[in-house]
């Protein structure tokens, strides 16, 4: 095991870190010894990704990045996407060899280790449906043409992949507006809905698809999509403690219950739920998106409830986005930002779409750019693909985040992998920089992301 030795004065280090307008040099004896380091460089403006290179630079000492392997945080469940019904539909249309090759690329070694799916339709399905549109008649039939077979093929490649499910809406007959869009779950149907979700998990298991985690409602404070539903923290608390939790417990369902699943501007939603002792006994943690708020909200929730996990579960890239700008913003906020604020997952939005950003429901997202654009048999890899793969290729499930100190102008997250190696993901948004990592002095290109495997 790599051991950390302190050979220099902490005071001297802090003084050096606060020197303004100067490059930082290595102080005293090196901290760690690395054998055969590997460097993988991504330059989004050139659309060049994960290129293995010889040690870059001329050995000039520079800004210090310091690793602390004995300071450990969360174990990672991984990085991935939402496999919407629409994305499964366009993937399923690929001819068999091309589809098999794509799924191996995505989910094989050094690939995606966590997926999010919808319970029934999301707004990126070709039509609105639930699995029990008629009371008493539950069926997975509407997902058997695309979502279920694609998931089965993925599980054949990676049986350990973790699948999180999120409903966009209960069946309309359970809601006070009797409609797929908006409205709220009627209290008299709390038990019915809990049993619907339990039946869903059991039915998926019979198809060979284990549901690792469930959020009770996607974006509960956004009733504007079709489908969608409004659910306050009080409503969600009452549903979990009076129906969902007891039903799961009675039926011995081991699927984790993860609350909230919405924006970082309302951490109090998750905190309020976890403050309730009758809710928290059923709940594993809370999930977040970043369309509003600050990614640091995850740390606020973790500080309030350190025994509960936090997850990052959705962020889109839009049709009008800039490739380089999107890549750099998402790496900074979703990949590095989420994990440095204790998230066990970092999940981007839609895995695949057609050239017109479909399929989607009437009232669904019309500008959601898939990680892949699939046009007939042609596959284009978009910015979201590279955002997720920037982490997934180097940080497998089971990696443990470790401490890292970086100079101003650099973002980084560091991990110890299950194979014992250390990996650090480093982002430089500005001009070229000289970096010092123990005896390792290297150049970090302008506007780049680098993975260093040690």
CATH number at residue 36: 2.60.40.1180
Q: What is the pLDDT of residues 64-115, one digit of tens each?
A: 999 999 999 999 999 999 999 999 999 999 999 999 999 999 999 999 999 9
pLDDT band at 215 (very low <50, low <70, confident <90, very high): very high
pLDDT band at 60 (very low <50, low <70, confident <90, very high): low
The 3 state secondary structure assigned to 435-453 is EEECCEEEEECCCEEEEEE
pLDDT band at 59 (very low <50, low <70, confident <90, very high): low
φ, ψ (nearest 5 deg) of residue 430: -110, -145
Q: Is the pLDDT of residue 40 over 50?
A: yes
Last residue of some domain: 352, 367, 397? Answer: 397
Chain length of the chain = 454
Would you give the DSSP letter of residue 187?
Answer: G
Residue 234 belongs to domain with CATH number: 3.20.20.80
Q: Residues 178, 49: one domain?
A: no
Q: Is the pLDDT of residue 443 over 70?
A: yes
Q: Residues 275, 335: one domain?
A: yes
Does 21 reside within a domain?
no
**Strands 433-437 and 63-64, sheet pairing:** parallel
Query: What strands lie across the sheet with 352-353, from one edge to the other?
Result: 352-353, 372-375, 378-381
Does 57 reside within a domain?
yes
Q: Which residue has the tokens 């709220």?
A: 184
Q: 139 by DSSP, 3-state: which?
A: coil
Q: Give the pLDDT mean for 409-421.
A: 97
Does 16 reside within a domain?
no
Q: Residues 344, 422: one domain?
A: no
Q: Is the pLDDT of residue 173 over 50?
A: yes
CB 123 within 8 A of CB 314: no
Last residue of some domain: 397, 417, 433? Answer: 397
CB 124 within 8 A of CB 362: no
Q: Between the CA of residue 168 and those of 182, 187, 325, what are the distances in Å? A: 10, 18, 29
**Distant-in-sequence, close-in-space partners of 115: CB < 8 Å, separation ≥ 6:** 80, 81, 82, 83, 151, 154, 161, 162, 163, 164, 347
Q: What is the pLDDT of residues 228-282, one digit of tens each?
A: 999 999 999 999 999 999 999 999 999 999 999 999 999 999 999 999 999 999 9
Does 8 reside within a domain?
no
Q: Residues 368, 443: one domain?
A: no
- Give CA–CA dist 43/142, Å, rounded: 42
Count of domains observed in the chain: 2
Does 46 reside within a domain?
yes
Report the predicted TM-score, pTM, of the whole model to 2 decimal places: 0.92
- Give CA–CA dist 158/175, Å, rounded: 37
- Give CA–CA dist 209/212, Å, rounded: 9
Q: Is the pLDDT of residue 452 over 70?
A: yes
Would you give the DSSP letter of residue 141?
Answer: G
Q: Residues 184, 47: one domain?
A: no
Question: Of 226, 231, 150, whose CA–CA distance to 189 is shortest?
Answer: 231
Q: Give the pLDDT mean for 31-48.
A: 87
Q: Residues 410, 356: one domain?
A: no
CB 409 within 8 A of CB 388: no
Does 43 reside within a domain?
yes
pLDDT value for 33: 62
**Distant-in-sequence, close-in-space partners of 433: CB < 8 Å, separation ≥ 6:** 62, 63, 409, 410, 443, 444
- Give CA–CA dist 222/218, Å, rounded: 9
Q: 205 by DSSP, 3-state: which?
A: helix
Q: Is the pLDDT of residue 182 over 60?
A: yes
pLDDT band at 23 (very low <50, low <70, confident <90, very high): very low
Does 96 reside within a domain?
yes
Host domain of residue 424: 28-74+401-453
Q: Residues 103, 46: one domain?
A: no
Question: DSSP letter string over 362-376?
Answer: TTS-SSB--SEEEET
Q: What is the pLDDT of residues 311-348, one digit of tens each?
A: 999 999 999 999 999 999 999 999 999 999 999 999 99
Question: DSSP letter string over 387-438?
Answer: HHHHHHTTS-TT-EEEEEE--TTEEEEEEE-TTS-EEEEEEE-SS-EEEEET
pLDDT value for 56: 78
Q: Is the pLDDT of residue 9 over 60?
A: no
- Give CA–CA dist 135/173, Å, rounded: 8
- Give CA–CA dist 27/214, Å, rounded: 48
Maximum pairwise Cα distance, the chain: 72
Q: Residues 445, 312: one domain?
A: no
Q: What is the pLDDT of residues 278-311, one digit of tens each?
A: 999 999 999 999 999 999 999 999 999 999 999 9
Q: Which residue has the higher pLDDT, 18 or 384?
A: 384
Last residue of some domain: 397, 415, 431? Answer: 397
Q: Residues 110, 185: one domain?
A: yes
**Strands 422-428 and 400-405, sheet pairing:** unpaired
Q: Residues 322, 417: one domain?
A: no
Q: Residues 216, 303: one domain?
A: yes
Q: What is the pLDDT of residues 107-160, one digit of tens each?
A: 999 999 999 999 999 999 999 999 999 999 999 999 999 999 999 999 999 999
pLDDT value for 63: 87
pLDDT value for 21: 31
Q: Residues 297, 429: one domain?
A: no
Does 20 reside within a domain?
no
Q: 90 by DSSP, 3-state: which?
A: helix
pLDDT band at 15 (very low <50, low <70, confident <90, very high): very low
Give me the chain's average pLDDT, please. Answer: 92
């Amino acid at each position: 095991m790599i051991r950390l030795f302190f050979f220099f004065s902490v005071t001297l280090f802090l003084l050096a870190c606060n020197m303004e307008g100067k490059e930082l040099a290595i102080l005293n004896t090196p901290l760690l010894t690395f054998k055969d380091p590997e460097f993988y460089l991504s330059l989004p403006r050139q659309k060049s990704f994960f290129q293995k290179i010889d040690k870059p630079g001329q050995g000039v000492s520079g800004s210090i990045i310091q690793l602390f392997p004995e300071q450990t945080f969360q174990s990672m469940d991984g990085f991935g996407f939402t496999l919407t019904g629409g994305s499964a539909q366009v993937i399923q249309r690929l001819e068999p060899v091309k589809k098999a090759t794509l799924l191996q690329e995505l989910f094989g070694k050094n690939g995606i280790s966590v997926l999010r799916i919808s319970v029934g339709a999301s707004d990126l399905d070709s039509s609105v449906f639930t699995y029990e549109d008629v009371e008493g008649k539950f069926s997975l039939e509407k997902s058997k043409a695309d979502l279920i077979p694609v998931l089965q093929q993925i599980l054949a490649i990676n049986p350990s992949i973790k699948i999180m499910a999120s409903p966009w809406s209960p069946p309309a007959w359970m809601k006070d507006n009797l409609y797929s869009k908006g409205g709220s779950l009627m209290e008299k149907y709390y038990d019915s809905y809990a049993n619907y979700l339990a039946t869903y998990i059991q039915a998926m298991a019979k198809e060979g698809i284990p549901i690792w985690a469930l959020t009770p409602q996607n974006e509960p404070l956004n009733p504007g999509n079709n489908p969608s539903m409004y659910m306050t923290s009080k409503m969600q608390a009452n549903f979990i403690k009076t129906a969902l939790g007891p039903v799961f417990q009675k039926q011995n369902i081991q699927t984790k219950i993860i609350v909230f699943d919405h924006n970082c501007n309302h951490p109090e939603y998750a905190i309020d739920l976890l403050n309730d002792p009758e809710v928290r006994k059923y709940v594993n943690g809370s999930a977040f998106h970043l369309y509003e708020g600050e990614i640091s909200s995850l740390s606020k929730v973790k500080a309030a409830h350190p025994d509960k996990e936090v997850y990052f579960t959705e962020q889109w890239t839009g049709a009008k986005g800039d490739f380089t700008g999107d890549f750099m913003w998402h790496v900074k906020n979703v990949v590095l930002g989420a994990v440095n604020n204790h998230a066990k997952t970092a999940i981007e939005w839609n895995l695949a779409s057609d050239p017109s950003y479909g399929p989607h429901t009437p009232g669904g997202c019309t500008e959601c750019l898939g990680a892949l654009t699939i046009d007939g048999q042609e596959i284009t890899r978009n910015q979201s693909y590279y955002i997720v793969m920037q982490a997934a290729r180097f940080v497998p499930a089971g990696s443990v985040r470790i401490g890292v100190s970086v100079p101003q102008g650099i973002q980084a997250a560091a991990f110890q992998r299950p194979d014992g190696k250390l990996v650090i993901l480093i982002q430089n948004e500005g001009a070229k920089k000289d970096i010092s990592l123990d005896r390792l002095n290297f150049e970090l290109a302008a506007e780049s992301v680098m993975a260093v495997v040690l």
